[in-house]
Structure 1
């Protein structure tokens, strides 16, 4: 029993150290460029040793990737909370779209996910992260809408990529001071424009969006 308790305590400490590193790194990565952020200041901010950092992460880039992954997961979680399976497919897409725009207004998030992420990790690695989180949710929502016949059937992968790009562009513009209402209106028009001329009665079902 004591041995199991010790293992749990060690695991908790390990997870806490990793979380502290990610939190400290996130704060520093949004204060100044990635290239100007050094590992010594990250470990100092986290209150751990360099050895602890390299125990959890191979290098600074790996730590940055963990920060980005956590941000992407947080955005996806907000989307999924806003678009439960009980919603009609189209309603879930709209609710999830709104949730994405709100979630991306967290300070530093657009920079981490849309600017520094692709620059530091590369487009391919960033796409993999997106596909595990936001793009996965969007893809599921689009497929659900097509199955409910409230959206014209199109190649789901291509549609996901193009709509995701539109949402990302909107998030960047809003971050820069553009009208959130204007961008939302256009995004909603894009979604509605994908609906067939005759829309049958919808049935509730799983639906997720970005």
Structure 2
């Protein structure tokens, strides 16, 4: 009985330490950016030792990858939640998912982590891999469903997904810099309509 209590306690402490590191790193990466954030700052902000950092993460890049993975998950959850709020067609779900994406990306820290530092630190291929692992390709699945339902024309799904994904990221950047999101949503809706 005592052994189970100790094991559970160790597991809880391990998870708490990892969580503290991720939270502290997320705040610092969002505020200062990857390059300007040092591991001693992260350790200090998390209230843990440097050894604890390297017990959980091989290096700063591995920690950044873990932070960005959580960001991708949060964005995917928001898109999925938004798309499900609209009963109707797959095309309507794609449009509503666009709104969910922009809502999720409204966090300036998220823009910096995912769209500015992410490609520079991890590279686009790694980000694409993280996107597939965390979001189960929500955009690709939505497009495929709309094609199956005959709501948009059949196009090469990989190319369409890549191009629309890049468009969404550029829109998020523009909105973060002060563009009116409604203008961009109007254009995104028109783009989806043009795929009929």
The TM-score, its normalising length taken from structure 2, stands at: 0.94
When residues 7 and 171 of structure 1 are mapped into structure 2, their CA distance, relative to the original with a 3 A threshold, is same
Q: Give the structure 2 partner of residue 58 of structure 1.
A: 58
Q: Does 1:162 align with 2:163?
A: yes
Q: Secondary structure at the match of 1:10?
A: helix
Greater relative contact order structure (CA < 8 Å, 6+ sep)? 1
If each structure's helix is expressed as a fraction of its own residues, which one has the higher value?
2
Q: Secondary structure at the match of 1:133?
A: helix
Supply the distance in 1 between the matched residues of 2:22 and 2:189 (Cα, whole angstroms): 35
RMSD of the alignment, in Å?
A: 1.5
Q: Give the structure 1 partner of residue 185 of structure 2.
A: 184
Q: Give the structure 2 partner of residue 20 of structure 1.
A: 20
Deviation at 1:122, TM superposition (A): 1.3
Q: Within 5 A, what are the aligned runs for 1:1-210?
A: 1-84=1-84, 87-134=88-135, 136-195=137-196
1:82-119 deviation digits (Å, cap 9, x = unpaired): 22396421121111111001100023111111110000
Q: Secondary structure at the match of 2:84?
A: coil
When residues 104 and 135 of structure 1 are mapped into structure 2, their CA distance, relative to the original with a 3 A threshold, is farther
Deviation at 1:135, TM superposition (A): 7.0
Supply the distance in 2 between the matched residues of 1:180 and 1:81 (Cα, whole angstroms): 19
Question: More deviation in 62-71 or 29-38?
Answer: 29-38
Deviation at 1:129, TM superposition (A): 1.3
Q: Secondary structure at the match of 1:108?
A: helix
Question: More deviation in 29-38 or 137-146?
Answer: 29-38
Q: 2:108–2:176: 8 Å Cα contact kept in structure 1?
A: no
Q: 2:79–2:98: 8 Å Cα contact kept in structure 1?
A: yes
Q: 1:135–1:164: 8 Å Cα contact kept in structure 2?
A: no
Supply the distance in 2 between the matched residues of 1:84 and 1:153 (Cα, whole angstroms): 23
- The count of residues paired between Structure 1 and Structure 2 equals 195
Supply the distance in 2 between the matched residues of 1:58 and 1:108 (Cα, whole angstroms): 24
Q: 1:76–1:133: 8 Å Cα contact kept in structure 2?
A: yes
Q: Secondary structure at the match of 2:108?
A: coil
* Structure 2 unaligned regions, length at least 5: none
Q: 2:143–2:157: 8 Å Cα contact kept in structure 1?
A: yes
Q: 1:110–1:171: 8 Å Cα contact kept in structure 2?
A: yes
